[in-house]
Structure 1
Amino acid sequence: MGTTIIHLCYFGLINVIVVLIGYQILKKRLILLSWVLMIISLFIIHFIFQHEHPVIRMLALIVTTFTCMKVIAAANDYKNKPLGLTFIQWSAFAIGWMGMRAQPFEKLGEAPLPNAWPMIQFGISRVIAGLVLIFAAHQVALLHLAPNLNYIIITALLLVGFSLILHFGLLSISAGMWRLSGVNTYYLFKLPAKATSLTEFWSKRWNIAFSEMTSIAIFRPLINKTGAAAALMLAFGFSGLLHEIALSVPVNSGYGLPTLYFIIQGGLVLFEKALMSRKIMFLKNTVIAHIWTLFWVIAPMPLLFHTQFIKQVVWPLGGMHY
């Protein structure tokens, strides 16, 4: 326990250093250095936490990845415009918000924005719903179902429960709280079940922070050099790489599977665009479009949330043992 506390202190110090150096990188537009900073920081975090529990390792890697990606995204976003962020505003963005657009924090400290409390209330309701699902997973474990069925039901309940708590709950509460301070924050998960294409799902509805990140840091800088299709696939590939850091490295297993998941998604997005360019409009049927989207998001999901990640992270995080 004492060693873990020391490691967490190192983790906090490294992220503070990233924020401090990151602001200097922003002021001098040192985009290449921002990537170097990320690589070094993640290598150090991985080395420090390599013998910690996978849950702790995962959280340390994810938080550090997001902190470093804030530097990369902001450096790219401000490279051709004046830096409008004070250090306090930059720190609030880098530490306190999961989105990747820094500009809204230029208004930090101004009058409260509308819809803050509805967002907070929405988030609280989703946290409660998520806790109910985790409780339900514990009740299913008491039923002593067939092992495979037990694994599938409990895993599904835990994954959806954690998603409700974090993605739709805590992040919505965070968005509402920042709006009370004048920052034009927004839902990062926008009714994903309403998506009628994978293009819409990944670009406008699911994890807007990741789509902002890959768009600013990968797609936009590369599109004129590689073409739109290659830039899009590289963006999805990069998203896969970040998920490897979050889902495979902590359990030292499943390498390549999250990347394959996102390569499949990128290929299907290109397929959709090809259909549209040839006026093949089967996705215009709303029912078919919903089925198509949900199937391709969910069916390959065992590649993303592979077995060892479920056993070593998801179940323990839910207070359960496989």
Structure 2
Amino acid sequence: MTGVIPVLVVLGIGAGLLLAKLRVVWLRRIVGWVVLGGLVLGADVVLRDVGAVGRMVGICCVLLGGMKGLVYAEWARAEKLPATRVLVFAFCWFGMDPGSFRVRRVGLSWKGDVKLGSGLMLVGTLGAWLVWAMEWRHILVMFLPMSLGFHFGALRVLKGGLRAAGFPVRTLFPNVLEARGVGDFWSRRWNVGYSQMMQRLVGRPVAGMAGQGAGVMAVFVGSGVLHELAITLPVRSGFGLPTLYFTLHGILTLVERKWGKPIGKVPALVAVMLPLPWLFPPAFQSEVIEACLGVFGLLENC
């Protein structure tokens, strides 16, 4: 039954191509979200007898494919991508800007990204091995090397590869230590592609109907719901905690706007890291993160 997952991913992307032809904006958005919900529900049913790691990977793949479709449908109102470029956008990049694949350019810098990304992958892998070997199980200690290796390493290498091919994609995870506040962290430092997606699909539509403040909170609450699907649904535990995590950051972002200035680098990073157990509940830590670290044990026994 796990073979159904690639089919659901393709259906999510294909739905976006069809929805792009629907000119009634509100209907396109409603149908798109309903389709996404149905695909994720289907993935959860198909993966009900699979382990937590497998469920997470499968649901995340379907979720990513569906979100790619929604983003493309929202973007492709005045222009379209050729079929091959749609495939590259959908399957070869974690970003959410179809426009980066519209025109291929010559002479884009890329070697620095590959070198830096490769180094960070190595450091992250060694750090994850150390965490496994020392049996450190605090969520922050487990998450940092894995994030360093994947978010800042592997995705940087992928960026370099696509830029070498002529696609002007942006860095998805710029230096988080330069964040000036909570709003700056989530909008410009952490997963820029995801932030761009949420603004396009949630923030701007809600802001247009109910104002900027409502748009900001909708982005954060919506992020909480999407992380529930990716984190708490696979382990069947901790429901509501990721939404609480992002709701808190939405409130802090609105506070920054009311003050007219960010809260500062250190308070922002503390606000992000201190409640990480809300984002990654205990069951997810043990059934997914620790299980992923356990790959080092398998390699040791080979």
Give me the TM-score of the superposition, normalised by structure 2.
Answer: 0.92
What does residue range 236-275 of structure 1 map to in structure 2 within 5 Å?
236-275=220-259
In structure 2, the partner of 1:117 is: 111
What does residue range 286-305 of structure 1 map to in structure 2 within 5 Å?
289-305=264-280
- 2:208 aligned with 1:224: yes
Structure 2, unpaired ranges of 5+: 298-302
Percent pairwise identity: 26
**1:113·1:183 contact (CA, 8 Å) conserved in 2?**
no
Structure 1, unpaired ranges of 5+: 1-5, 142-149, 284-288
Distance 1:282 1:59, change over 3 A: closer
In structure 2, the partner of 1:95 is: 91
Residue correspondences, number: 292
Q: What RMSD, in angstroms, separates the aligned Cα atoms of the two structures?
A: 1.7
Shift of 1:224: 1.8
In structure 2, the partner of 1:16 is: 10
Of 258, 282, 291 in structure 2, the residue corresponding to residue 316 of structure 1 is 291
Shift of 1:45: 0.4
Shift of 1:113: 4.1
2-structure distance, mates of 1:168, 1:262: 22
In structure 2, the partner of 1:213 is: 197
Of 41, 56, 80 in structure 2, the residue corresponding to residue 43 of structure 1 is 41
1-structure distance, mates of 2:106, 2:124: 29
SS at match of 1:91: helix
Shift of 1:123: 1.2
In structure 1, the partner of 2:179 is: 195
2-structure distance, mates of 1:247, 1:158: 16
Give me the TM-score of the superposition, normalised by structure 1.
Answer: 0.86
Shift of 1:169: 1.3
2-structure distance, mates of 1:199, 1:20: 33
**2:174·2:188 contact (CA, 8 Å) conserved in 1?**
yes
2-structure distance, mates of 1:46, 1:241: 15
Deviations along 1:92-127, one digit per CA (max 9) or x if unpaired, are 1111111111111112xx344422111111111111
Distance 1:113 1:32, change over 3 A: farther
2-structure distance, mates of 1:290, 1:162: 22
What does residue range 132-151 of structure 1 map to in structure 2 within 5 Å?
132-141=126-135, 150-151=136-137
In structure 1, the partner of 2:67 is: 69
SS at match of 1:151: coil
Distance 1:282 1:42, change over 3 A: closer
SS at match of 1:97: coil
Structure with the greater alpha carbon radius of gyration: 1
1-structure distance, mates of 2:243, 2:93: 25
**2:10·2:65 contact (CA, 8 Å) conserved in 1?**
no
In structure 2, the partner of 1:3 is: none
**1:121·1:173 contact (CA, 8 Å) conserved in 2?**
yes
2-structure distance, mates of 1:159, 1:113: 36
Deviations along 1:66-111, one digit per CA (max 9) or x if unpaired, are 11111112222233xx22311211121111111111111112xx34
Deviations along 1:238-261, one digit per CA (max 9) or x if unpaired, are 000011011100100000000000
Distance 1:61 1:207, change over 3 A: same
1-structure distance, mates of 2:29, 2:87: 18
